[in-house]
Amino acid sequence: MMHKDIATPRRTKEILDQYGFSFKKSLGQNFLIDTNILRKIVDAAEISAETGAIEIGPGIGALTEQLARRAKKVVAFEIDQRLLPILADTLSPYENVRIIHQDVLKADIHQVIADEFTNVTDIMVVANLPYYVTTPIIMKLLTDRLPIRGMVMMLQKEVADRLAAKPGTKDYGSLSIAVQYYTEAEVVMTVPRTVFIPQPNVDSAVIRLIKRKQPPVEVNDEAFFFQVVRASFAQRRKTILNNLVNNLPNGKTLKEQIERALANASIDSRRRGETLTMGEFATLSNVLRTMLINV
């Protein structure tokens, strides 16, 4: 039997009134009240009866419910204790949902997957992320090397644009490179602020990040590669040479090596970081790493 959707304005208001729930600004709580958009998010994640879904910040269960109707199992991390009794109630029709009261940034997600998703081979993260912790959550999910197919996230539109940005655009930066190193990123749709309560003061977008089997570039030392990338974007208006000299550890004493590495990588030292492709960054960091090891 189909139960009444949680994510209608009327039903959401009923639930919040029933529990006397008030939104906490500090937790970035904005609840979706449009079932159509929620279904599109689940569609974008290609959830099937074989999929295990991990959700972050289920709120009152609007997206959780849509996932539960299609997935084999849903595990959702909720940090706000006040929402636990509400979720127990709104999701009571669904036996394939488990709510974990924990901050996902502190969670051992590998362990949760091992415990909760036995006999599940397809795992997807699907979430309407709180804006204030979007980037740390995405980076944790990527760098933890989880056995997931990918993620579909609702987040602030300008962050989504940065994650999917191409070289030479104003949105392109170290975050674009970090995310695209691990995944193929695309913005699936833009979402107006009017479909949330309370309304956020920015528009949102849904991004789909599908994990790559292997990174698109070969680097000798991942940590060093990301260090070079971050240093190159430290001050957007400065040249790549200036940024590396000023922002790499001991950069000032290594100026000659950095100049030589740029030349060896066929990169004009007067270019700005945002014009370099990921491939150019990989070549540069490999050349520089080899030089510094041999110093």
Q: Is 32 annotated as a binding residue?
A: yes
Q: What φ, ψ does residue 31 adopt, rounded to 5°?
A: -95, 140
Q: Is 30 annotated as a binding residue?
A: yes
Q: Is 59 annotated as a binding residue?
A: no
Q: Is 279 annotated as a binding residue?
A: no
Q: Is 67 annotated as a binding residue?
A: no
Q: Is 38 annotated as a binding residue?
A: no
- As to burial, measured by CB atoms within 10 angstroms (0-12 exposed, 13-18 middle, 19+ buried), residue 108 is exposed
Binding site members for S-adenosyl-L-methionine? 30, 32, 57, 78, 103, 128
Binding site members? 30, 32, 57, 78, 103, 128
